[in-house]
Amino acid sequence: MALRFTPSGFARLLASVSCASGTGGAALAQWAPLPLRLIVGFGFFAHGYAKLSRGPASFAAVLDTLGIPVPHLLAWLTTAVELIGGAAVIAGAFVALASIPLAVILLTALFTIHVHYGFFSVKLIEVTAMGTRFGTVGYEIILLYLAGLGVLAAGGAGSLSIDRWLAGRRGRRPRPGRA
């Protein structure tokens, strides 16, 4: 039997899994936070790991040039928050709580560095025989991370999360869409 793609068949497939279709949509919606958690959490963890692998003293030097007080302490604190917070988001553990210090880091980066370079994160400077050169990074990605954290904090970590498991152990049934 050959499978054929038809627009009406695709529309029926979408309707069967959409949130407007009743229980099928609710079953799918509980999994919606998972890819967002994995992407946002990995992003934070990767940035924290990069700071740790270069040595927080390197990041402290950056903070010092920006005039941030106690740069060595804040470099270590930022590194720890990104590593621990990123892992918590990936695991879906205490996501609403972990989102607070992560958002503080993002807002600090937004207003001390990125806002001066405009919105776009990818700015093509030139393409030469030597390769492609890009410019400074704007605040586009910062806003995407903040939106992701906001959605996860407000909507819950979803299925396959520690938050969902903890809610089940406490005997509470999570609201649909919440962890």
| Per-residue pLDDT reduced to its tens digit, 87-102 | 999 999 999 999 999 9
* Tokens coding 105: 């880091």
- Tell me how far apart the alpha carbons of residues 51 and 45 are, in angstroms, rounded to a whole number: 10
pTM for the full model?
A: 0.78
Residue 23 pLDDT exceeds 80: no
pLDDT for 26 equals 73
Looking at residues 126-140, what average pLDDT do you find? 89
Torsion angle in degrees (nearest 10) through CA of 148, 164, 49, 119: 0
Give the model's pLDDT for residue 136.
Answer: 86
Mean pLDDT of the 17-28 span: 60
The three state secondary structure string of 57-73 is: HHHHHHHHHCCCCCHHH
Please report which residue ranges of the chain form alpha helices under DSSP H.
7-17, 23-29, 33-54, 56-65, 71-91, 95-112, 140-155, 162-169
Q: Which residue would you say has higher pLDDT here, 169 or 94?
A: 94
| pLDDT tens digits for range 68-85 | 999 999 999 999 999 999
> Which pLDDT band holds residue 21 (cuts at 50, 70, 90)?
very low
DSSP state of 130: T
Average pLDDT over residues 1-5: 56
CA distance 29 to 178: 10
